[in-house]
Structure 1
Amino acid sequence: MIALGWNCRGLGNPRPIRVLRELVQHWTPKIVFLSKTKIKKYRMEKKKFKTGLLNGLIVPSIGRSGGLAMLWSREIKVEVQGYSRNYIDAVVTDSESGFKWHITGFYGNLETHCRKESWNLLRSLSQKYQLPWLCFGDFNEIVSVEEKLGGVQRSQRQMEDFRDAIHQCGFKDLGFIGPEFTWCNMQEGESRMYLRLDRALATPDWVDHYKEVKVHHLVESTSDHCALLISDANVVQKYPNRRRFLVEAMWTRREEECKDIIQEVWDGS
């Protein structure tokens, strides 16, 4: 079982859709959940064919804001049960084993004052089925100060509310392999901040079935978010397990030779 989740920050340009196609071709996920596609339904339908995953549900963006998609292969049966701007919910049946489980691709509310609405949504989804459940995506929140580097101090109440929702849904955090943070604000110097906003959560009965499951953080330069690869097979990482290297613009102002070196390498790449 392999699933892929990614806050792609827009699929309107050729580069991110090319990266998505490469991810799908390399890892062959059976289910892909995308958030912040930032494109309308008819455009996402065209992009879908480029990935090779022809089945799916698309929640269009509103202007250049939001947008979700859940795509899946023909090998599995997926029955969509509900969706909104913040989630896509479905029941999956494995064609070989007949194992049936609940899957939710989730995008937490970006506005802090609306975050409790997201956790109430999680609680309501937990009441829908008595099935093993996997929920993954960009929750836009962390559970502890250890999941943050840089920036202003996080509200303990915010993190506590998220932890409470996870507990009440009966979730276990599946952990990760790779970089410890999944998002960077891409700012310079002391304003730089890293957070673990993307994660995969599952109920114990789901974990009992997929005993060898691992979550890998895949660094992608086209987004400020890592992609989540959820796999119960042995995976050789395509990407290095280290924090991404980013060129600071201020270096080109402070060092005379830096700009020339960067330009030379860029032209030769």
Structure 2
Amino acid sequence: MKILCWNCRGIGNPATVRELKQMLVANDPDIVFLCVTKINANKFSSVCSRCKMKESNKVEVQTYSSNHIDSIIKLENDNPIRFTGFYGNAEPNKRQCSWNMLRRVGQSVTEKWIIGGDFNAILDNAEKEGDFREVVDELSMADLKTDNDWFTWVNNRDGTALVKERLDRFLMSANDVARFPFMETKVIRQSTSDHDAIILDTEGRKSRDRHRDPRLCFKYDVCWDVEAKKIIKEAWQKGSADIMGKIEMVGKKLGGWQYKKLKQMRTQMGTLQANINKVIDSQGLGKLLDEEEKYWAQRSRIQWLKEGDRNTRFFHVRATNRRKKNNIPRLKDMDAVLQVKR
């Protein structure tokens, strides 16, 4: 089972929807928890449609509020799991309400319990006291460390003003951690939000059984190009006179080629992802996106969008439309004849 959590900081931006869709395709999660979406239910259904997300009869929502969604997930051939998507209150004086809400949920939990989301609080081994530490200990939860990156939030500032923190995380009932020996948690880097997404895979480290060589399990792929056609032609010409023999030869040649092609593509994707992470870490991308947003925001004359969301596409459209509206392409003379613009 895979659970993905992301504080998307507003899902109305087309770029954010596009990034969410790419993330879902790449990771194929079973459960998705999004917080701070800043849109109503009707608009969110459109986002779900574009990202090909749908409701599942394996998930039963128990309770919900502006800070949480508590649910029971039914698993095949296993006992159900309790999952609580959580968003901690950003205001320190209201954060205790968030912890009390978790305590109330915890009183009704009898299943294996996982909490995931943006806690808006720091939990560090060096901290021996504090409200967050106290509620984690009180509920007997274990903090699940991520396997790749550590920080999940950055304030997108330069120099000494730069701050990175681990605000997004998964917690699991401490007594149940040992029951998931193959569990894996990762940070998924994002560019449209100051929060990275996190994903938990209960069987992420489990080796996949392969009864056949993947090079033999080939099928038609949209990525086939001229090179594939050449391989098919050569294998067909060199094969035996028997049709089945020719098909077998084509299968062997094409399967090996496709396997090699896939490995090369994955290597290239890994290199590109590493470069993207370097750009994001350097804050160059975040700073440029913020500057671009301010550029178009100033020209759009729209002030109602909150600072921090990158609605660049919206601002660009508004500014472009206003420029078109203010432009006078041609004029009519006294006889109502259009005059050519000089």
TM range (shorter): 0.7 to 0.9
Partner residue in 1 for 2:149 = 179
Number of aligned pairs? 220
Matches within 5 A, 1:112-191: 112-144=92-124, 160-191=130-161
Partner residue in 2 for 1:54 = 54
Q: Secondary structure at the match of 1:33?
A: strand
Which 10-residue stretch deviates more, 30-39 or 114-123? 114-123
Partner residue in 1 for 2:81 = 101
Alignment partner of 1:89 out of 66, 70, 79: 70
Matches within 5 A, 1:180-259: 180-231=150-201, 232-234=203-205, 239-240=273-274, 244-247=281-284
User: Structure 1 residues 92, 54: CA separation in 2 closer, same or farther (over 3 Å shift)?
Assistant: same
Q: Secondary structure at the match of 1:113?
A: helix
Partner residue in 2 for 1:264 = none
Task: Identify the structure with bigger relative contact order (alpha carbons < 8 Å, sequence gap 6+).
Answer: 1
* Cα distance in 2, alignment partners of residues 246 and 5 from structure 1: 23
User: Residue 152 of structure 2 aligns to which amino acid in structure 1?
Assistant: T
User: Residue 195 of structure 1 aligns to which amino acid in structure 2?
Assistant: E
User: Residue 140 of structure 2 aligns to which amino acid in structure 1?
Assistant: G
User: Residue 33 of structure 2 aligns to which amino acid in structure 1?
Assistant: F
* Cα distance in 1, alignment partners of residues 101 and 162 from structure 2: 31
User: Residue 189 of structure 1 aligns to which amino acid in structure 2?
Assistant: G
* Cα distance in 1, alignment partners of residues 184 and 282 from structure 2: 25
Alignment partner of 2:59 out of 61, 78, 81: 78
Aligned-residue offset at 1:41: 1.1
- Could you tell me whether the CA contact under 8 Å between 1:134 and 1:206 is conserved in 2? no
Partner residue in 2 for 1:10 = 10
Aligned-residue offset at 1:165: 0.3
1:25 aligns with 2:25: yes
- Could you tell me whether the CA contact under 8 Å between 1:80 and 1:89 is conserved in 2? yes
Aligned-residue offset at 1:205: 4.2
Aligned-residue offset at 1:50: 1.6
* Cα distance in 2, alignment partners of residues 22 and 141 from structure 1: 28
Q: Secondary structure at the match of 2:195?
A: coil
* Cα distance in 2, alignment partners of residues 193 and 86 from structure 1: 24
* Cα distance in 2, alignment partners of residues 52 and 211 from structure 1: 31
Partner residue in 1 for 2:311 = none
* Cα distance in 1, alignment partners of residues 140 and 52 from structure 2: 34
User: Residue 100 of structure 1 aligns to which amino acid in structure 2?
Assistant: P
Greater helix fraction, Structure 1 or Structure 2: 2
Greater strand fraction, Structure 1 or Structure 2: 1
Q: Secondary structure at the match of 1:18?
A: helix
- Could you tell me whether the CA contact under 8 Å between 2:8 and 2:195 is conserved in 1? yes
- Could you tell me whether the CA contact under 8 Å between 1:87 and 1:107 is conserved in 2? yes
Q: Which structure 2 residue ranges, 5 or more long, are not aligned? A: 207-265, 292-342
Partner residue in 2 for 1:263 = none
* Cα distance in 1, alignment partners of residues 88 and 170 from structure 2: 13
Moved over 6 A (4+): none
- Could you tell me whether the CA contact under 8 Å between 2:183 and 2:205 is conserved in 1? no
**If you compute each CA radius of gyration, which structure gives the higher value, 1 or 2?**
2
* Cα distance in 2, alignment partners of residues 137 and 15 from structure 1: 22
Aligned-residue offset at 1:145: 8.3
Q: Secondary structure at the match of 2:62?
A: strand
User: Residue 144 of structure 2 aligns to which amino acid in structure 1?
Assistant: L
Q: CA RMSD in A?
A: 2.4
- Could you tell me whether the CA contact under 8 Å between 1:139 and 1:199 is conserved in 2? yes
User: Structure 1 residues 133, 43: CA separation in 2 closer, same or farther (over 3 Å shift)?
Assistant: same
Q: Secondary structure at the match of 1:216?
A: strand
Deviations 1:222-256 (A, max 9, x none): 1101100111224999644767222267xx9xxxx
Deviations 1:58-82 (A, max 9, x none): xxxxxxxxxxxxxxxx4x6110001
- Could you tell me whether the CA contact under 8 Å between 1:80 and 1:90 is conserved in 2? yes
* Cα distance in 1, alignment partners of residues 187 and 163 from structure 2: 17
